[in-house]
Amino acid sequence: MYCSPAEPTSCTDITHARKLGLVRLLSDGPAVEILADAGYQGLGAQTGGRVVTPPHRKFKKNAPDRYEEIHEQRRKAHSSRRIRVEHSIARLKNWRALARHHARREHMSDTIQAVTALLSHQQTLTLAANERV
């Protein structure tokens, strides 16, 4: 699991990714596939297909026959693959330190990184225990 540093102001997901240099890193780095949500629409083309987002609806009116059915199938397929990501985000939000953050914002990145490390370690232990069974 990867969590980027917190921004001092609100910022869209895709803008934050570009500011951090993730686009360059992904396009030049190893061939990995990142399952992203619709907030990252367009990064797939910039990263050589490494960022996979839900399919974009091409027709708002006068869609060809079966377009809605095919679009819905592709959307559900992406959602089914991405469910583990959503569950990880939900686990992060369950931590009281993140759900009710009242401290200074400059410490938020450290708190997020600490919780992410704990959750990643916990998931590794769970996977190892399941493999032994």
User: Model pTM greater than 0.95?
Assistant: no
50 Cβ neighbours under 8 A, 6+ residues apart: 26, 27, 31, 32, 33, 34, 44
Q: What are phi and psi of 127, to 5 degrees?
A: -65, -40
Burial class (CB in 10 A: 0-12, 13-18, 19+), 43: buried
Query: In a structure prediction context, what are the per-residue pLDDT tens digits for the chain, which is 133 residues long?
Result: 677 777 777 788 888 888 888 888 888 877 888 888 888 888 888 888 888 889 887 777 787 888 888 888 999 999 999 888 888 888 877 777 666 665 566 777 787 888 888 888 887 887 788 887 6
Query: How is residue 49 annotated by DSSP?
Result: T
